[in-house]
Amino acid sequence: MKIIAIVVTYNPDLELLKKSLFTYIDAVDNVYIIDNSTELFDATKFTNISNKIKFEKLGENKGIAYALNYGINLCADEKPDYILTMDQDTLYVPSIRSFPLDAFNQNIMAIVPVLDQRIKNIQPYNVKNAIQSGAIFKYDILKLIG
């Protein structure tokens, strides 16, 4: 099972971005940082953390959807099973590999974080709306819908 994280940044707080990366980097196979920033920052601060990190600078703010699609297309040759989408400031608490990824089927597009203190264990249920940061998508479905 191959999981690739795509992180979209825009003029990030570099220390918070580094802290965020450390919350999930061990659970994924590679991380693509797609930078929408207008300001320049030293990408080697992140590529030196791990050889899993790949950095792409767009040179302007093209928006989160553009950046996510750019990252999805970049990792196509790696043939991932799943894509984890992250924002620059999201801290990932649960273990990605503990999610019931085998529950994916034709009717499930993503496993998404639900911020509800009443939920004590991870179990699948339908939601109508979800945030993208922290969501795990089945790669084949992303490619199918474009």
How many Å apart are CA 55 and CA 15, to the nearest integer? 16
Query: Taking all residues of the chain, what is their mean pLDDT, rounded to a whole number?
Result: 81
Query: What pLDDT is stored for residue 5 in this prediction?
Result: 95
Question: Which residues, including other chains, have CB under 8 Å from residue 131's CB and lie 6 or more apart?
Answer: 112, 113
Q: Provide the pLDDT confidence category of residue 7 given band limits of 50, 70 and 90.
A: very high
User: How many CB atoms neighbour CB 86 within 10 A?
Assistant: 26
Taken in order of first residue, the domains within the chain and their CATH numbers are: 3-145 (3.90.550.10)
Q: Considering the entire predicted model, what is its pTM? A: 0.83
Q: What integer pLDDT is reported at residue 125 of this predicted model?
A: 65
35-44, 75-84, 90-99: which is most confident = 75-84
Report the candidate in 51, 59, 55, 89 with the shortest Cα–Cα distance to residue 74. 55
Q: Tell me the pLDDT tens digit for each residue of 93-142.
A: 665 555 556 655 556 666 766 565 555 565 666 777 777 787 888 898 88
